[in-house]
Amino acid sequence: MLIAAAVCPCPPLLVPEVAAGAAPELDGLRAACAEAVRAVAAARPERLIVVGPAERAGRGPHAQGAAGSFRGFGVELDVRLAASPPDGVSVGDDAAGRSPSPPLASSLPLSLAVAAWLLEHAGWDPAVPVEGLGVGEPLAAERCIEVGRELAGRAERIALLVMGDGTACRTLKAPGYLDERAAPFDAEVARALAAADTGALAALDEELAYELKAAGRAPLQVLAGSAEGAPLKGELRYDEAPYGVGYFVASWSS
């Protein structure tokens, strides 16, 4: 049974070490994400399932403690999914904190690696079980909704952390250049998140989302399936398009 959910974007720039000098530009977004994660924790779920876009090789499922890495962005930073390193040592440091350790064998897709960083920095209790699920971006809406229903059908009180960006076509300098259809698409997503409108999320146009590079479409439709019939209320915490990409942060709770 789904009792709560948080929606957060998954750009690597959310991680300050990756953003480097541009990190302060997303401080407000990081704060909103942390608040959303803490709201989920306050609901006291028996398990958290992290859902995010993934390539075929990284779909998982991924167990708690699965490793992810940002070394491809030039920073010696590894993460684990909701698992504390021993003796308080930061992942990527040796036991004395003197130098980076060898890279971890990474299995998490990038979206779930960002989620792992977020859970750590929001203070997620590793005693609460966490698992990760990568969702292929081309996955049909009907199948996404079925996956969500399967998750909600578990006997446990579950919560979701849904990672995914909006469109990448909001400005001329956006990754997908400017597309006039992007702002209305994102506006509908924002409205649906604020209202906990599962029908609107389920009805998102797959082809249009692909054309607008909206990487969060499939994970959002998993959320739609999992929340069908659940008496949840929505709260939109963040709705901006820095760098021309739509980022949303939302909380759904009873």
pLDDT in tens for each of the 254 residues of the chain?
Answer: 999 999 999 999 999 999 998 889 999 999 999 999 999 999 999 999 999 999 875 577 899 999 999 999 999 999 999 975 544 444 444 433 434 455 556 789 999 999 999 999 999 999 999 999 999 988 999 999 999 999 999 989 999 999 999 999 999 999 999 999 999 999 999 999 999 999 999 999 999 999 999 999 999 999 999 999 999 999 999 999 999 999 999 999 99
Identify the three-state secondary structure at position 178.
coil
Total residue length of the chain: 254
- The C-alpha atoms of residue 217 and residue 213 are separated, in whole angstroms, by 9
What is the number of alpha carbons within 13 Å of residue 152 lying toward its C-beta?
20
Burial class (CB in 10 A: 0-12, 13-18, 19+), 27: exposed
> Which residues are registered as beta bridge partners of 53?
135
Number of domain units in the chain: 1
- The C-alpha atoms of residue 86 and residue 249 are separated, in whole angstroms, by 31
- The C-alpha atoms of residue 5 and residue 227 are separated, in whole angstroms, by 9
CATH number, domain of 69, equals 3.40.830.10
- The C-alpha atoms of residue 219 and residue 232 are separated, in whole angstroms, by 18
- Domain membership of residue 9 as a residue range: 2-253
Query: Which DSSP string corresponds to 18-61?
Result: HHGGGGGGGHHHHHHHHHHHHHHHHT--SEEEEEEEE-GGG---
Predicted pLDDT of residue 26: 95
Is the whole-model pTM more than 0.85?
Answer: yes
Sign for the pseudo-dihedral over CA of 197, 58, 158, 35: negative
Predicted pLDDT of residue 102: 54
**Which residue, 250, 143, 139, 148, is CA-closest to 189?**
250
Name the phi and psi angles at 237, rounded to 5.
Answer: -100, -20
Instruction: Give the tokens for residue 171.
Output: 């400005």
Predicted pLDDT of residue 199: 98
The secondary structure element, H or E, covering residue 245 is: none
Cis status of the peptide bond prior to 9, with omega within 30 of 0: no
Instruction: Give the tokens for residue 179.
Output: 């597309």
